[in-house]
Amino acid sequence: MRLRRSAAVLLLPLVLLAGCGEDETTSADDPTPRESPSVGSSAPPAGETSAPPTQAPPAKPQCSEIWVDQQTFPERYRGCLDGERLVQAESTYCEFGTRLFYYANSFYAVPNGPVNETEGALAKDPAFQTAINKCGG
């Protein structure tokens, strides 16, 4: 608590000084044109602040684009969209240092490996059971 109070006391003069200065209000009747930055300058005009551009997080791919039999599975998979619905990544950690991902009870893959589609449910597929067993050692 004492540290916060000390920091506030130290910052108060800076805040007060920042508020001092000439008031540069302009109006439509003001004949003085505003300075504009030179071509190639990245500085904003005087009196304006430049906010960094906000980047939207990358859109998730459609599940139908990721989970295609024998297509290479992406290295970094964080889920996909089924229409507009987000489908979280489901996986099992393998002892040899990677994850075995699965989707819709009929697809499975490891990063940079082929996507495998099963004939029926994953739990009844012999190849999936072999993959699960290899994950466990």
**Domain boundaries in the chain?**
63-135
Nearest to 103 by CA among 78, 127, 137: 78
> Is the pLDDT assigned to residue 20 strictly greater than 60?
no
- Residues 101-113: tens digit of each pLDDT: 999 999 999 999 9
Higher pLDDT, 17 or 101: 101
Q: Is the pLDDT of residue 123 over 70?
A: yes
Q: Of 87, 85, 63, 86, which is closest to residue 74 (Cα–Cα)? A: 63
Percentage of the chain surpassing pLDDT 70? 57
Q: How confident is the model at residue 40 (pLDDT cuts 50, 70, 90)?
A: low
DSSP sequence for 44-112: PPTT---PPPP-PPPPPPBHHHH--TTSBPPSS---EEETTEEE--EEEE-TTS-EEEEETTTEEE-TT
Residues 84-93 have pLDDT tens digits of: 999 999 999 9
pLDDT at residue 127 tops 90 = yes
- The model carries a pTM of 0.58
